[in-house]
């Protein structure tokens, strides 16, 4: 590579300590950095420098959140999260992870940190630091592990288990299976790709003593998301090569989780969506030979144990062999605008108590793969950059364990595949349902699932791979992998599109990414059209659903009417099932919270479909539908779905600085879709129609011509509110369009708006 090639017209040169040779950064028309260096050492220095230039405050915020120090910036609204993070003690486990990494990985992180610190030394700090009156602390190599861990911490099974634990006391063990997310009657699996089946249920009566004891501790007073990805082989492609596409779904927190970046040196040339604070591309990227992407796999990597301290010396708890002593420490948390808060942290053999204490007699201890020391996930990052086939690529994933993924990939040899990339404990399937009694020894981990038994499939017969947070494997899979997942609705819709509309060009994939048809909406609308309301306003409301097929288009009134009715149906279900009270429990307040309305929202369609009235307290479904329609009709404000559903972006400091909220979190263009669509712009069931989460990025990787690839993020490449690239991709993102993912040196040069030359000092 010739880093002294022709220069764009706008160029700037700086001298930096720590470089051994020239590093160049071309910023394209969208402010996306394309970084060129000879050595990996200099390239990762440039990676850290560019990340800090665009996303320093975001990186620092992620670090502080992981350390439980964010309330010092954001005030009391961050206190509960800080308390949880102090209990988890991510600093200790992340330092242990870092010590276990290979020397090559440690060097990558150290060089990245040097680049971050070079930007900090420049004194060009983002606006958030001026608001706070703060300066960033130095970046250290182990912080890369810390941020990577924080970005996926406690996702998945933990919250389902807490939800069922809170529901247990109200509905008993026999109805808990009704609270699993709606699945359309059968489930589509990640592995094997072509299989579907009924789901598994179990008797939970044997867990009653532990849960009843737990709920005496946390008595009653009188959260969605996901991702899509897919790959098709040459049979389904107009290009003669595989195509890979997808979109990660997150809450609309700005700056967004992913930063577009391109890293090139003499050893590799990789473009993708990076995680600010972490070098390389753990989730979404392509090199010269292959492409990869992830969705959350919902593998069960967390267990909860009810610990019994009652009647024992302070800090002692029961085990199957007698008693043990819990470890104890005190943490002090600084709160902006308030007094410091001290908390007692207790840790048992299973892990930290996230609820309860010895004084209360019982508590819940968390045992999670994410809290096991000496994880070597980051050892995967360097080999990923040079992988040339999906088989080689998957074989190098054995160290990965920080978060569970469906890892989809394709290579230029024409192969496509999927691997469940995770460390999964070996234990009984019953662990997947509820917190386990911690004193019996019957529900302990028996090691980790060997890597060679990880669910994996290469080149399925259909030539199509689809994952959308649907069930990873059938419930009769030889190894226990998961209990919970998201509905198969999106996976089924994507697969039906790919099977019926072949062959595809890369641009054709845009229509799938923007598909706004909701199967549950069509099904519920059909049920609603079959009832006869008494009042004229209610009949008028239902008239808006006439002929509607469930497309959540932004210019239509029907989606707005449907959403209001379904949300009211969910509130009624919560009330008559007696599950609304879950919102008042201490368990439900554990951040980010266990909302009965969110969980019942997802469970409702399946119960309605099967006319299962077990949770309706003597009510029929027709009666529930009629009440919902009559209630909504009294106050319904008819407006197009795009207006009702317009996304609201949230900046972490908006609460602490409300006068700056509009600058920190600008308004989005309207969108269609909802949480059941491929275009998964989801609302929170308890918070109206506003889109609260959805695709924070979209990508299409064209293996026939990398320069024909495209991508987009929901606001822009920069995390600086003053930058012209803070929100310049929002219009395209909302309209279902993307921007070029320039890859070749010639294409990058042709689209370069700014050129930075970094020379050794």
Main-chain phi, psi angles of 303, to 5 degrees: -125, 150
Contact 66, 149 (CB under 8 A): yes
Among 674, 231, 273, smallest CA distance to 489 is for: 674
Question: How far apart, in whole angstroms, are the C-alpha atoms of residue 727 and residue 723?
Answer: 8
Q: Which residue is catalytic, options 94, 227, 683, 752?
A: 227
Asked if 227 is an active-site residue, the reply is: yes
Binding residues for Ca(2+): 300, 303
Residues 6+ apart with CB under 8 A from 685: 567, 570, 595, 597, 598, 600, 601
Under 8 Å between Cβ of 287 and 269: yes
Q: Indicate the helix (H) or strand (E) that contains 113.
A: helix 103-122
Of 724, 760, 754, give the one whose Cα is nearest residue 35: 754
Which DSSP string corresponds to 75-90?
GGGGHHHHHHHHHHTH
Interhelix angle 489-500/519-529, nearest 10 degrees: 110
Number of neighbouring beta carbons within 10 Å of residue 193: 21
**Beta carbons within 8 Å of 256's beta carbon, 6+ residues apart:** 250, 696, 697, 713, 714, 715
Answer yes or no: are the C-beta atoms of 252 and 694 closer than 8 Å.
Answer: yes
160: helix, coil or strand?
Answer: helix
Copy the structure tokens of residue 608. 């309605």
DSSP reduced 3-state for 751? coil
Instruction: Give the CA-trace dihedral at 533, 601, 283, 189, to 10 degrees.
Output: -90
Separation between Cα atoms, residue 135 and residue 60, nearest integer Å: 10
d(CA 687, CA 684): 5
DSSP states along 412-436: TTS-EEEEEE---B---GGGGTSPE
Catalytic residues: 227
């Amino acid at each position: 590579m010739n880093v002294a090639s022709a220069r764009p017209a706008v160029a700037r040169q700086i001298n930096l300590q720590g470089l051994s040779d020239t590093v160049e950064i071309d910023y394209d028309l969208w402010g996306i950095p394309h970084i060129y260096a000879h050595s990996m050492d200099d390239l990762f220095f440039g990676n850290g420098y560019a990340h800090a230039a665009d996303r320093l405050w975001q990186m620092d915020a992620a670090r502080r959140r992981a350390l439980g120090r964010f309330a010092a910036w954001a005030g009391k609204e961050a206190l509960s999260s800080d308390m949880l993070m102090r209990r988890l003690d991510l600093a200790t486990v992340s330092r242990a992870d870092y010590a276990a990494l290979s020397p090559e990985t440690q060097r990558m992180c150290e060089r990245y940190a040097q680049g971050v610190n070079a930007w900090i030394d420049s004194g060009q700090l983002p606006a958030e630091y001026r608001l706070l009156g703060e300066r960033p602390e130095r970046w250290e190599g182990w912080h890369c592990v810390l941020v990577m861990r924080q970005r996926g911490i406690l996702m998945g099974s933990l919250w389902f288990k807490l939800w069922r634990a809170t529901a247990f006391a109200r509905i008993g063990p026999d109805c808990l299976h009704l609270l699993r997310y709606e699945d359309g009657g059968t489930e589509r699996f990640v592995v094997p790709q072509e299989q579907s089946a009924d789901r598994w249920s179990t008797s939970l009566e044997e867990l009653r003593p532990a849960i009843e004891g737990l709920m005496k501790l946390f008595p009653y007073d009188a959260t969605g998301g996901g991702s899509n990805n897919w790959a098709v082989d040459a049979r389904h492609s107009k290009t003669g090569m595989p195509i890979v596409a997808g979109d990660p779904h997150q809450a609309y927190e700005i700056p967004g989780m992913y930063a577009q970046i391109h890293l090139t040196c003499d050893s590799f040339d990789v473009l993708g969506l990076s995680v600010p604070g972490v070098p390389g591309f753990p989730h979404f990227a392509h090199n010269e030979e292959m492409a990869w992407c992830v969705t959350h796999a919902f593998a069960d990597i967390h267990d909860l144990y009810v610990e019994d301290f009652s009647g024992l010396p302070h800090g002692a708890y029961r085990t199957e062999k007698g008693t043990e002593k819990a470890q104890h420490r005190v943490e002090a948390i600084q709160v902006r605008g308030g007094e410091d808060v001290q908390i007692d942290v207790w840790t048992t053999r299973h892990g930290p108590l996230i609820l309860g204490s010895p004084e209360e007699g019982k508590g819940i201890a968390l045992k999670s793969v994410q809290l096991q020391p000496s994880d070597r996930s980051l050892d995967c990052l360097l080999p990923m950059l040079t992988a040339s086939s999906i088989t080689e690529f998957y074989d190098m994933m054995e160290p990965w364990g920080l978060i569970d993924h469906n890892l989809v990939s394709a290579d230029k040899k024409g192969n496509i595949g999927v691997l469940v990339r995770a460390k999964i404990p070996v234990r009984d399937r019953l662990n997947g349902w509820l917190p386990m009694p911690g004193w019996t020894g019957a529900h302990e981990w028996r090691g980790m699932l060997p890597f060679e038994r990880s669910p994996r499939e290469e080149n399925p017969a259909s030539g199509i791979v689809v994952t959308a947070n649907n069930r990873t494997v059938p419930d009769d899979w030889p190894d226990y992998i998961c209990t919970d997942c998201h509905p198969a609705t999106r996976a089924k819709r994507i697969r039906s599109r790919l099977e019926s509309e072949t062959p595809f060009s890369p641009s054709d994939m845009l229509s799938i990414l923007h598909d706004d048809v909701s199967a549950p909406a069509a099904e519920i609308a059909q049920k609603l059209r079959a009832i006869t309301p008494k009042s004229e306003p209610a009949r008028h409301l239902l008239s808006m659903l006439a002929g509607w097929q469930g497309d959540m288009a932004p210019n239509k009134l029907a989606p707005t009417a449907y959403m209001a009715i379904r949300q009211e149906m969910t509130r009624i279900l919560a009330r008559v099932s007696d599950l609304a009270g879950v919102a008042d429990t201490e368990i439900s307040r554990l951040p980010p919270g266990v909302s009965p309305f969110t969980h019942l929202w997802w469970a409702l369609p399946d119960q309605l479909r099967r006319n299962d009235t077990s949770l309706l307290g003597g009510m029929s479904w027709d009666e529930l539908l009629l009440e919902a329609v009559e209630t909504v009709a009294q106050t319904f404000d008819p407006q197009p779905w795009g207006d009702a559903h317009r996304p609201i972006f949230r900046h972490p400091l908006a609460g602490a600085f409300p006068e700056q909220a509009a600058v920190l979190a600008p308004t989005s263009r309207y969108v269609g879709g909802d949480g059941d669509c491929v275009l998964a712009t989801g609302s929170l069931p308890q918070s109206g129609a506003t889109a609260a989460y959805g695709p924070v990025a979209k990508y299409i990787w064209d293996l026939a011509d990398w320069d024909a690839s495209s991508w987009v993020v929901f606001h822009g490449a920069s995390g600086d509110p003053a930058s012209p690239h803070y929100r310049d991709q929002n219009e395209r993102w909302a309209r279902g369009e993307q921007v070029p993912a320039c890859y070749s040196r010639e294409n990058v040069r042709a689209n370069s708006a700014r050129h930075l030359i970094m020379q050794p000092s």
